[in-house]
Amino acid sequence: MIAARLRQVSLLAFAMLLSFIAFFQMFERTVGAFPLRFAGMLGIASALVFVLWGLLLRFQPYASQSILACVLLLTSIGTMMIARIDNENDTNAAFRQLIWLCIALVLTALLVVFLQDYRVLRRFSYVSMIVGLGLLLSPMLPGIGREIGGARIWLGFGSHTFQPGEFAKLFLAFFFAAYLFDHRDQLAVGGKKMLGMRLPRIKDTGPIIVVWLASMGVLVVQHDLGTSLMFFAMFVSMLYVATGRKSWVVIGFLAFAAGSVLASRLFTHVGYRVQAWLHPLDKAVYNQYPGGSSQLVKGLFGIASGGLTGNGIGQGHPALTPLANSDFIYSSLGEELGLTGLLAILALYVIIIASGLATAMKIKDGFGKLLAAGLVFTMAFQVFTVVGGITLVIPLTGLTLPYMAAGGSSLIANFLLAGLLIVISNAANRPEPDDAISDTFQYEALAALHGRRERGGNAHSQSNRMDAHSQRAAQGRAL
């Protein structure tokens, strides 16, 4: 156990050392000194990291420690690049990002302390659905809803903005996991076989139709292609994990592809993104406003200028790309860290995703398996859509890179997502006796026993009524 703890703290120490070197090199090359206010905030964040690590040892002793180390390293690299861009644009986004980081660490610490058993979330499945849909649709409220960059996905309070969709994905993941766990047997029943796949029955396609309509509604009403894609992909992936049927994946892909093609024809903001993806270097498309490809092309040239090893921290010009610290932070990192740095960043995401998938495979509880898989697939889809959009694999979606892009809503929500994965991994890695029965089997056995008792009670009361009726009939005949 001591050796394991030493390995865990060495991972955190290594991540913090790399982070300090990156900040030190960046500030020395850009401003010639390490600002004291950044040194203070980084010191506070480092202290909170070790507090969180200590709480994990106390309350989640069997949790995966690689998730936290990778998340911290990604956050540090992203915040360093945001500070680098601040020095060129004379902005203050990096210092605010460090404040949000401290808040995220505190909330994650509270989560790992008070959420000892993640299965309590299953009790609030429909409450989670209501809260998730309320958060998702809240930007449509008059007065506080804000439209930024053509998408109405923000709430505004004075000079501050808040993106509720980042938290909606957590609540909807709770609901999807509980719903699919309760109805997995019905959804797994196959219908007719076509092209080597067993298609679902028509009457069982209701849930995916409802979620598809909700995703299209987000696309139509809020003009947000990324959020609609993320929620639909999360549901379809969890549906596949619950049933094991590839036909659901094929149906989901075809449904969303058809909806996206239709949306590109009906809605100009989606059509602009498809056009910029297909013809980014066309002069007319490049200079088009709104919806031109100039931002996308500048990001591509930024990555290309970095080459294999990059221009070096503090020696590029990432601020030339619009939204370089949020939507296009991946291209900013590519300019200064090169292809090698970008692949290292993707490797960190792969470690987090692989740890989450390992947790989903090891956990015996069906609800935990679905929840862990849904959270991991959500992060994987988000990373794919951001990186794929910047590198012209798919059209731009408007999503931001988890843990790295500027923004408090995204940072806090994704830290809570990582905290949930850590809590579930603790249950998955906890040693059990050889004769232990899975929590899912115990729950279903108790439910079956309770139902049997109710049926037995009803049968007993019905028997008593029949006996009383027979006695009265016998008395009547005697008279």
pLDDT in tens, 228-266: 888 888 888 888 888 887 877 888 888 878 877 887 787
Q: What is the pLDDT of residue 190?
A: 60
CA-to-CA distance for 66 and 57, rounded, in angstroms?
13
Q: What is the pLDDT of residue 448?
A: 62
> How large a percentage of the chain has pLDDT more than 90?
48
Q: What is the pLDDT of residue 197?
A: 62
Burial call 92-125: b when 16+ CB within 10 Å, e when fewer: ebbbbbbebbeebbeebbebbeebeebbebbeeb
Q: What is the pLDDT of residue 151?
A: 75
User: Which residues 6+ apart lie within 8 Å of 110 measured at CB?
Assistant: none
Neighbour tally for 366: CB within 10 Å: 22
Instruction: Say if residue 92's pLDDT is above 50.
Output: yes
**pLDDT tens column, 374-431:** 999 999 999 999 999 999 998 888 888 999 999 999 999 999 999 999 999 999 998 8
pTM metric for this prediction: 0.87
On average, the pLDDT of the chain sits at 85
Instruction: Say if residue 49's pLDDT is above 80.
Output: yes
Instruction: Say if residue 478's pLDDT is above 50.
Output: no
What tokens were used for 219? 């696309």
CA-only gyration radius of the chain, Å: 26
pLDDT band at 306 (very low <50, low <70, confident <90, very high): very high
pLDDT band at 362 (very low <50, low <70, confident <90, very high): very high
Concatenate the DSSP letters of all residues of 78-120 into one string. Answer: HHHHHHHHHHHHT--HHHHHHHHHHHHHHHHHHHHHH-S-GGG
**pLDDT tens column, 127-175:** 988 898 888 888 888 888 888 777 788 888 877 888 898 999 999 899 8
Region 284-293 average pLDDT: 88
